[in-house]
Amino acid sequence: MSWFCSMTGKGSYIIFFPQACFQASPGKVEEAVKFAIDIGYRHFDCAYLYKNESEIGDGIQQKIKEGVVKREDLFVVSKLWCTFHKRSLVKGACQKSLAALKLDYLDLYLIHFPMGFKAGEEMRPVDDNGMIVPSNTDILDTWEAMEELVDAGLVKAIGISNFNHKQIERLLTKPGLKFKPANNQVKYLFLLVSAEHSVKTGLHMLALNLRNLEFSKILKTQECLIPVLYSQVLIRFHIQRNVAVIPKSDKPHRIEENLKVRFQIRLLLHLSITSSYFLIKPNYI
């Protein structure tokens, strides 16, 4: 799996091909994780929001117990939810995820979204009008608390998710910045612009939610050119652009299919995808 590795700013590695655990079916997550480890997956994308970190932890611990992997072979990611942006809450939120995952440290911990919500038991606190109640915590204060997690040895590296260019620039130009974000995890359509920006800033990109109706139609028209699934083309396309991808499935055959991307997209097909890719660029970026 070393061909999927890339070093972060802290000297740890991002494995370019994680297994996403978002919206995985309850009760199936542990088995999916164990199967994924058995066939070679080593990067697992988790989050407090997904409500399945305990099952993921059970699967990981079982495979460690069996001797299939060691902890240091894995790259486990979790994310700080929006209700924990207050500086005093960040460490506790990280420790909750660690306890659920049954781990001593995370390889990467992300701020899930740049906007914070009012602290409390509700995941999405709303007012009488049904509007989200925001936190008054500045994201730069949250980032300082994230940096403290690295110093405490609870996480190897820290990063961001769903940040736009202006939010990234504000963070990177923060006075006294101790650790730059190792990566920005975004839905793949954002990569139309963000991939180029990441080269300039030194952030690794992780592409989430790869399946998209319009893009899928484009790839299906090309499927006759190569003997692989269009989903595999989509995954390989991002890898060849030095973008880590996060495919999602709890079905064993899909998990295995998503790993079979050791091929090179021909230049003609790559150019065709790229030209189509930019034709569907969203206008809100």
> For the domain that residue 43 is a member of, what is the CATH number?
3.20.20.100
| Domain-embedded: residue 275 | no
Average pLDDT over residues 122-146: 97
Number of domains in the chain: 1
Highest mean pLDDT among 4-13, 103-112, 217-226: 103-112
Angle, vertex CA 261, rays to CA 260 and CA 265, nearest 5: 150
Which one of 50, 188, 230, 277 is the catalytic residue? 50
Of the candidates 51, 54, 52, 110, the one whose C-alpha atom is nearest the C-alpha of residue 82 is: 110
The model's pLDDT over 83-131, given as tens digits with 9 standing for 90+, comes to: 999 999 999 999 999 999 999 999 999 999 999 999 999 999 999 999 9
| Domain-embedded: residue 200 | yes
Phi/psi for 71 (5° steps) reads -55, -40
Contact 273, 242 (CB under 8 A): no
The model's pLDDT over 165-217, given as tens digits with 9 standing for 90+, comes to: 899 999 999 999 999 999 888 765 544 445 555 555 666 666 555 555 445 55
Average pLDDT over residues 230-249: 71
* Residue 204 known to bind ligand: no
What is the reported pLDDT for 27?
74
The model's pLDDT over 18-43, given as tens digits with 9 standing for 90+, comes to: 454 555 566 788 998 999 899 888 88
Q: Which long-range contacts (CB under 8 A, 24 or more apart) does 215-224 make?
A: 215/276, 215/277, 215/280, 218/273, 218/276, 218/277, 219/273, 222/269, 222/272, 222/273
Average pLDDT over residues 57-65: 97
Tokens encoding 197: 């920006």
Q: How far is it, in rounded angstroms, from Cα 170 to Cα 175?
A: 10
What is the reported pLDDT for 19?
52
| Domain-embedded: residue 96 | yes
Q: Where are the beta strands (DSSP E) in the chain?
A: 5-7, 13-15, 18-20, 43-45, 75-80, 108-111, 158-161, 183-187, 204-208, 244-246
Alpha helices in 128-212 (DSSP H): 139-151, 165-172, 191-201
Tokens encoding 257: 């299919």
208/163: higher pLDDT: 163
| Domain-embedded: residue 40 | yes
Contact 42, 86 (CB under 8 A): no
Amino acid present at 236: R
| Domain-embedded: residue 59 | yes
| Domain-embedded: residue 123 | yes
- 48 an active-site residue? no
What is the reported pLDDT for 124?
96
| Domain-embedded: residue 145 | yes
**What does the mean pLDDT of the chain come to?**
78
What is the reported pLDDT for 53?
95
Domain span holding position 86: 2-212+242-264
Amino acid present at 176: G
182/238: higher pLDDT: 182
Decide the pairing of beta strands 5-7 and 13-15: antiparallel
